[in-house]
Structure 1
């Protein structure tokens, strides 16, 4: 079976690739592997890149986990995803994300948590579609979106709207849209430049810019994503 998360380190830049050969759904095992790769990058690298497979960044949380209706398993998945998003949002090293295709939650959460997102142009969608599929957007994701999206597009998460790359760049999910053949070069150049920034200045400024939002995300995780609450919902 293909390993869903691959890690490479070269020239002080860590590259984390999410590629399960299919939809890049993020269940508990994949989320744990991603968290471990991020921890390695933060220990070893001056900057990191996260990328998906060609044609898809991530289909988001694994819907099969939701379908099994095991509250403990669902809680584990959502909690791991929330903690990963917060760790990336506050990471001590720069993160450039290469959006290679569709980015549904949890994939869109990773875009929102990045320092810079470069996307390949193409016929795919990005966004937070929970409401459109009958799910309530978790509080941590609301705070992540509030911190990153432009106000009009933040309001549109209420309807679960998905966006094409060009509109997603206006919304705040992504920073630059390039031709698919230019994606790897653009991402590498951005990560190389960010790997040379003054790390103390980067970390201090990031704390000033994102500290209040990070505290709101932390509070939402601690308040809302508890195993007791997930078990209670399952009994209703």
Structure 2
């Protein structure tokens, strides 16, 4: 299984671990959605994490190469719908970024409410400009919402890749913790957020983010159509 869920004290710990880069493909999306189903039914908050040294390397480029244009758009749709579910979902979601987060990996960070990163020699950023890819609308909309505006050009248009401290300054992350403490820190924050009144948290989260959510929903099937 490329993603698993474990619930303790009302906190769902969802872990991405495909043994490699935690690439986002149909299998990973399905596993994450199944984990979110369990979390939303049984927990009060979520921690989303990766494997040691790797949060996610982004979309599975091998899948992109083999799927053909229609398949690529279907995978982009699946990824966008996953982001919508996290960003607009009812539960608090805390990311424990365990290492490298590239491309779709950072868009998942954007979708989480609070992001704790692992201090160390890790790369975090959107590399589409480097690899010659057009940014999908969901990436642009989440970046506008979450990145420090002074970093938007550098991060998204120029494809700058940050270290964890720089990622905090840019807005990819909210704070850092040592590698052996990042998961515990995320669980502690999730525990605090789980104490907030759930109906108000869910309503406020969806209401504040409604414009962004609506623009991403409207882009499904046409991710590069401005």
TM-score band, normalised by shorter chain: over 0.9
Matches within 5 A, 1:35-54: 35-54=33-52
Residue matched to 1:191: 190
Matched, 1:93 2:91: yes
SS in 1 for 2:181: helix
Do 1:28 and 1:76's aligned partners in 2 also have CA atoms closer than 8 Å? Answer: no
Do 1:121 and 1:165's aligned partners in 2 also have CA atoms closer than 8 Å? Answer: yes
Residue matched to 1:206: 205
Distance 2:107 2:208 in 1: 18
Residue matched to 1:152: 150
Distance 1:23 1:69 in 2: 19
SS in 1 for 2:220: helix
Matches within 5 A, 1:145-184: 145-156=143-154, 157-184=156-183
Match 2:111 to one of 110, 113, 124: 113
After superposition, the C-alpha distances for 1:170-216 in whole angstroms (9 at most, x for unaligned) are 11111111111211221111011111111122122213321122112
Distance 1:56 1:189 in 2: 21
Residue matched to 1:233: none
1:35 positional shift: 1.5
RMSD, aligned CA? 1.5
TM superposition score normalised by structure 2: 0.94
Matched, 1:21 2:12: no
Equivalent pairs, count: 224
Residue matched to 1:232: none
Distance 2:132 2:168 in 1: 26
Structure 2 spans left out of the alignment, 5+ residues: none
Matches within 5 A, 1:73-92: 73-92=71-90
Distance 2:123 2:59 in 1: 16
Distance 1:69 1:33 in 2: 19
Distance 2:189 2:136 in 1: 31
Residue matched to 1:234: none
Do 2:90 and 2:203's aligned partners in 1 also have CA atoms closer than 8 Å? Answer: no
1:66 positional shift: 2.0
Distance 1:139 1:225 in 2: 5
Structure 1 spans left out of the alignment, 5+ residues: 230-236
